[in-house]
Amino acid sequence: MGIALEKVTRDDIELVWKMQVEAFSDLLAKYQDYETNPGAEDIDKVLARFEQSWTSYFFIVADGSKAGVVRVVDKKDGSRKRISPIWIMKECRNKGLAQQAIIELEKIYGEDNWCLDTILQEKGNCYLYEKMGYHRTGKIEKINEQMDIVFYEKN
């Protein structure tokens, strides 16, 4: 199954927010992290990010359906480009869509000088990013007793 990246417009923000809340709901319930989990954000925070000049959101479209979303931060100042966040809707997971989305982003923004972070305890996420050429920076941030954030870079 191939994917396409479709640029999100301001009119799409409510849908992006609803998808985000749904996609992250299981992780929110599992880790009870109401400070940093995208599933706990309100629509105003998503809109504020969308309006940043260095942010682009894309729908991840598979078989004509919006299967997920990815946000790219690119300040175009030599700093690392950042994926934050990326998600695939529950019914579309484990089909390689996130991997394909990252490949497509690298075609647009270049393969080098990326960073991202994820939940250390989510082994599937860590495996995906490591398979895509990301390496751990050594930085790990404890969020709560159940959860840590691990940081990755790709040069």
What single string gives the DSSP state of each residue in 128-145?
A: HHHHTT-EEEEEEEEEET
pLDDT of residue 21: 98
- Sheet containing 65-73: which strands, arranged edge to edge? 3-7, 55-62, 65-73, 81-88, 114-119, 147-154, 135-144
What pTM was computed for the model? Answer: 0.96
> DSSP state, 132?
T
pLDDT of residue 7: 98
Tokens matching residue 140: 């790990």
Domains and their CATH numbers in the chain: 3-110 (3.40.630.30)
Chain-centroid distance, C-alpha 129 = 11
Convert the pLDDT of each residue in 74-99 to its tens digit: 999 999 999 999 999 999 999 999 99
pLDDT of residue 35: 94
- Mean pLDDT for the chain overall: 97
pLDDT at residue 1 greater than cutoff 80:
no
pLDDT of residue 143: 97
Convert the pLDDT of each residue in 89-145 to its tens digit: 999 999 999 999 999 999 999 999 999 999 999 999 999 999 999 999 999 999 999
